[in-house]
Amino acid sequence: MSKNVHDTGDAHDARDDGPSPSPDRVEQSDVGERLQALRRTFGLSQRELAKRSGITNATISLIEQNRVSPSVASLKRVLSGFPISLAEVFGDGPHFDEPVFFRSNDLAEIGSGRISLRQVGHGESSRKLQVLHERYQPGSDTGKAMLVHAGEEAGVVVGGTIQITVGSRTEVLGPGDAYYFQSRLPHRFCNLGEEICEIVSVCTPPTF
């Protein structure tokens, strides 16, 4: 038993959560790193997480340093302090240390020609939401063939004007105007104005 475990008064927890060849141990080498990233994402101190989960502050510190290998039961207790499951933390789903803020030059261009589509968080395949900053040059058009796909989409015009056709309905929208429709309805976007049209849009599931 190391001296600092005795000093924290957490000798009992350290014995319970220490390394052993038991099959109920969580073997991932990045347990500590993921727990620390998760805690910081939710803005919790080790002390606050200890209060929420009923696991001592010292044990949480040891887990984050990968100095102990927690049992599945112990890790579940720790994670009870978050609105998240064990599978979500250690599965192949989204990780909680992914970027959450993006500068303008971080947005990835996925459009072409006279239509610019700059995507927030491009490359994150696990995301269920697509957010775009769209720019339509004067005279640009998504094409005579109407767009049709699964999901739903919405957007707000922040500059210029845009003609949007959804099914049999057509409307010209200006700054502050918005739209929301089921993407299975045939739709088309045309900039018939003389200035660039800018739209901030969202689509689920991602189209591109």
pLDDT at 128 (0 to 100): 84
Q: In this predicted structure, what is the pLDDT of residue 32? A: 85
The continuous run of DSSP H or E covering 180 comes out as strand 178-182
Give pLDDT, residue 152: 97
- Tell me which CATH code domain 104-204 carries: 2.60.120.10
- Is this structure's pTM higher than 0.75? no
Give me the residue spans of the domains in the chain: 3-90, 104-204
What residue ranges of the chain have pLDDT lower than 70?
1-29, 85-97, 122-126
Domains 3-90 and 104-204 share a fold: no
Q: Kindly tell me the number of DSSP H helices and DSSP E strands found in the chain.
A: 7, 9
Give the per-residue pLDDT at 123.
60
Edge-first strand listing for the sheet containing 169-173: 169-173, 162-166, 187-190
Superfamily for the 3-90 domain? lambda repressor-like DNA-binding domains (1.10.260.40)
pLDDT at 4: 42
For residue 25, the cross-strand partners are 71
Q: 124 with 102: CB under 8 angstroms?
A: no
